[in-house]
Structure 1
Amino acid sequence: MSKFKTPSRRGILTGGLGLVGGALAVTGLPSTAYAGDRPQPSEATSTWSKDTSANGWPVTDHDGIAPHKVEGSPITVSLRGGDSATVLLYVARRFFYELDSELRTEDISGHTTDRAVAAAYESNLLSGTALTIRPGAYPLGAKDGFFPQEIQVIRDILADCEGIVRWGGDEKLPKESHFQIDVKPGDKKLPRVAAKIRSWDTTPGAGAGAIDPFTPQRRRDADALARTQAA
C-alpha cells in the first residue's frame, strides 16, 4: 500500500463550475483514489546498457544537465538544456497550473543516472529528455489515475506540443506520471515548437495560465492527436 498522501486540493472544474483567469480552477473536487493506493503489478527491471535512450538522445551522467525552474511554481527539475527543456517545462507548468497546484520539487523527477528500467521508455530519463510527475501516485502499470476532465487537459497540453511529447498513459505498459520528448535530436519540429512556447511568454493572454482546454476547437485538436498517439 502506498504511503503517498493525497493532496487536499486536486482536480479541475468543468465549464459549469467555472474558469479563473482563463485557466481551469483547482479546487476541492473529490479526490480520485490514487493509483499508488491500489495493488501494483510486479515490475521486472533490467539495466539499460545503450549509449542513447529509447527516444534516441545521448545518455549522460551530467553533461548538458541542469536544474530548471518551472515558471510560476516552487518547482525545479533537472533536465537536458535547450529546446527539449523548454517543451518539458511547459508540460510541467500547465500540470501545476491546471491539475495540481500543490506540486513541489520532490513530486517531480527528471534526469537520473540510475539505469534500472522496467519499461524501455523510462530510459529517456537517463538523457534528461523526460520527466515524471508524482510517480508514486501514477506508477508503472496502473491506469485511470485521472478524472476524464483531467485527461482532457493532458490531451490539450500534448496538442500544444504538436506530438513531440508523448505521455506514458498512452503506452501499452502505461505510466501516467511519465512525459517524454518523442523526437530524435535534430528533428526540425522541436525548435519550432519550443520557439512557439517561448513566444507565448511575451504575448499577453497566451500560453500557460491563459488557456481553456475545453473549447470545441481545442477539443478537436486534442482528440485528433490522441488518435495518432494511442499505443
Structure 2
Amino acid sequence: MTNPARISRRALLTRAAAIGTAVALPGSVLLSTPGYAAQKPYRTSVEQAVERLRERNARVLTGRPSRNGWEMENAADTHGSIYTRPVPGTPLEGIQVRLGEVETVLVHLVRRFHYEIDTLREGDVIGWRAPDRIRTRLPESNQASGTAVQIRPGHYPSGTRGGYFPLQVTVVRDILAELGGVVRWGGDDTTPDESLYYLDVRPGDSRLTSVARRLQGWRDTPGLGAGAPVDVLARDRRDAAKTLERRQRG
C-alpha cells in the first residue's frame, strides 16, 4: 500500500477531482465507474463526501426558481451559492448575494449608489431573504436567490413612486445602462418597489458574463469603476440610459 506520506501532489489533485465528479453522478453510476472501483481504499470517504453534499443540498437548495429564473436557497453563508460579500469603500459590513458574476454586478451597483446618490450606512442594504419571508409572485423573490438587493426599503416603500429626486433618478438610469440592462430597477415595475434592484437575466446569459468581466477589469485599473468621476449628463450616456429606460419600462 502506498505510504500516505509519499502521496504526490498530482495524486491528491486527482483524488480531489474524483470526489468533485462524484457530486454530479448518481450513486449507482458512480459506484460502477472503473476509476471508482480501482480506488477501493477511498470508497468510504467518497461515499461520505457524496452523502454530506446530498444533505447540504437538501438543507440549502429549494429546487424552485425566483422570478428571474435563479434557484432560491433556504440559507446564506452555509455552503450554498449565497454568501456575505464585502462592499469596498462603504461602511457596509457586507451584503448577502450570489457569488461570482452576480456579486460583481450588484456590489458595483451598491457602490455607485453610495458614491453618487446618497451615503449608505450599515443596515441600509438588504440582500438575501429567506424564501418563506418574501412574496414569491413578485420580483422581491429574486432576493431569495441572491440576485437582488433592496437599498433603504424604509425610505422607498413598496407600492409608491417618487422617492428619488430627479438627478438621483438620472444616476440610477446611468447605472442601469452601464450594467448593460442586466439589472432592472423595481421602480419600473407595475407594482413599484423603488428600493429593489434585481438581475434581469437568466442563468447562463452571456450578457451577464460580459458585463462582469468589464467590471472586473475596471476594478483592477486605477481611475475606472465605482468611485471614478462620471458625467451622467454626457450625451452618449444619457442616450444609452434613455434607450434602456424605454425598453425596460415598455
What TM-score bracket applies, with the shorter chain setting the length?
0.7 to 0.9
The DSSP-based 3-state class of the residue aligned with 2:104 is helix
Measured after TM superposition, the shift of residue 50 of structure 1 is: 7.2
Any stretches of 5+ residues in structure 2 without a counterpart? 1-61
Q: Which residue of 2 aligns with 1:100?
A: 118
Q: Which residue of 1 aligns with 2:180?
A: 162
The DSSP-based 3-state class of the residue aligned with 2:217 is helix
| Structure 2 contact 131–141 (Cα < 8 Å) conserved | no
| Structure 1 contact 77–105 (Cα < 8 Å) conserved | no
Q: Which residue of 2 aligns with 1:127?
A: 145
Given the alignment of the two structures, is residue 113 of structure 1 paired with residue 130 of structure 2, yes or no? yes
Q: Which residue of 2 aligns with 1:19?
A: none
TM-score between both structures, scaled by the size of structure 1: 0.76
Any stretches of 5+ residues in structure 1 without a counterpart? 1-48
Paired with 2:236 and 2:96, the residues of 1 have a C-alpha distance of: 34
Given the alignment of the two structures, is residue 74 of structure 1 paired with residue 91 of structure 2, yes or no? yes
Measured after TM superposition, the shift of residue 205 of structure 1 is: 2.2
Paired with 2:231 and 2:132, the residues of 1 have a C-alpha distance of: 39
What amino acid maps onto 2:71 in structure 1?
P
The DSSP-based 3-state class of the residue aligned with 2:83 is strand
Q: Which residue of 1 aligns with 2:166?
A: 148
Paired with 2:101 and 2:122, the residues of 1 have a C-alpha distance of: 21
Q: Which residue of 1 aligns with 2:65?
A: 52
Measured after TM superposition, the shift of residue 107 of structure 1 is: 0.8
Aligned residues: 182
The DSSP-based 3-state class of the residue aligned with 1:175 is coil
| Structure 2 contact 89–111 (Cα < 8 Å) conserved | yes
Instruction: Compute the RMSD of aligned alpha carbons.
Output: 1.4
- Structure with the higher helix share, 1 or 2: 2
Q: Deviations over 1:198-219 (max 9, x none)?
A: 1111223222112221111111
Q: Which residue of 2 aligns with 1:214?
A: 233
What amino acid maps onto 2:198 in structure 1?
Q
**Higher Cα Rg: structure 1 or 2?**
2
Q: Structure with the greater relative contact order (CA < 8 A, sep ≥ 6): 1 or 2?
A: 1
| Structure 2 contact 219–225 (Cα < 8 Å) conserved | yes
TM-score between both structures, scaled by the size of structure 2: 0.70
Paired with 2:237 and 2:143, the residues of 1 have a C-alpha distance of: 29
What amino acid maps onto 1:117 in structure 2?
I
Q: Deviations over 1:116-168 (max 9, x none)?
A: 43451010011000000000110110100001110000000000110100000
